[in-house]
A and B are shown apart, each in its own frame.
Chain A
Amino acid sequence: SQQGEEDPQALSIQEGENATMNCSYKTSINNLQWYRQNSGRGLVHLILIRSNEREKHSGRLRVTLDTSKKSSSLLITASRAADTASYFCSHRGDMRFGAGTRLTVKP
């Protein structure tokens, strides 16, 4: 597969809890990006991590990258109902997305 694959497919948590979702890929990468999509809306870029970085933070987001395992994880801390969305990873210019992780945060 040429696309990132996210897991789990769906994740349901309570507000305030942390959410962790994972991405695996098969080829070598220059960087990897995480995007969010609210239902029926366009994708919003969240964070980019380069292949020589192991961890990156942005607000409540923490992304890790393990190039030896060809995997990345996105952690959302202290989740809010507004974080309810689908989350995707991508490492290619032509952005061949996987099915994403559907996160539901219950108030």
Chain B
Amino acid sequence: EPEVTQTPSHQVTQMGQEVILRCVPISNHLYFYWYRQILGQKVEFLVSFYNNEISEKSEIFDDQFSVERPDGSNFTLKIRSTKLEDSAMYFCASSVTGGADTQYFGPGTRLTVL
């Protein structure tokens, strides 16, 4: 069964460094999402992406964040200058259509900012 994959599974970085988290959505999906979950807290929506542009973003998704679909398969989240509070699990998801269609989540990347 097709699944969303994410790399790396764990990323450790120093405060102020840039990180790129990678996701490979399910191949026939058109909508892509990033979510964040700080340890012990709820899953928070960051951004949705469709047709090579951001369709919606939350207040968390500030200028430090950017997303890109650099080729036909990858979907990336870049954090330009990481802060301690960026430490969290980051989940990618994809869906065939947008709206309230079923989203399929990847296993997540644990980001630790030191």
A-side residues, CB < 8 A to B, are 29-33, 37, 40-45, 48, 88, 90-100
Assess whether A40 is in contact with B48, with CB atoms less than 8 Å apart: no
- Which of A29, A40, A42, A95 neighbours the largest number of chain B CB atoms within 10 Å of its CB? A42
Residue of B nearest to A40 (CB): B89
Assess whether A94 is in contact with B56, with CB atoms less than 8 Å apart: yes
Q: How many A-B residue pairs have CB under 8 A?
A: 62
Residue of A nearest to B57 (CB): A94
- Cα–Cα, bound, A99→B43 (Å): 8
Decide: A43 near B100, CB < 8 A? Known: A94-B48, A95-B33.
Answer: no
Assess whether B42 is in contact with A45, with CB atoms less than 8 Å apart: no
Interface string of B71-106 (1 = CB under 8 A from A): 000000000000000000101010000111111111
Size class of the contact patch on chain B: 20 to 34
Residues of chain B with a CB closer than 8 A to A93's CB: 31, 48, 56, 98-101
A28 CB, nearest partner CB in chain B, Å? 11
A52 CB, nearest partner CB in chain B, Å? 14
Assess whether B103 is in contact with A95, with CB atoms less than 8 Å apart: yes
Decide: A88 near B43, CB < 8 A? Known: A94-B48, A95-B33.
Answer: yes
B110 CB, nearest partner CB in chain A, Å? 8
Out of A31, A88, A97, A98, which one reaches B100, CB within 8 Å?
A31
Out of A29, A43, A48, which one reaches B105, CB within 8 Å?
A43
Out of B44, B45, B104, B106, which one reaches A45, CB within 8 Å?
B104
Assess whether A92 is in contact with B105, with CB atoms less than 8 Å apart: no
Residues of chain A with a CB closer than 8 A to B107's CB: 41-42
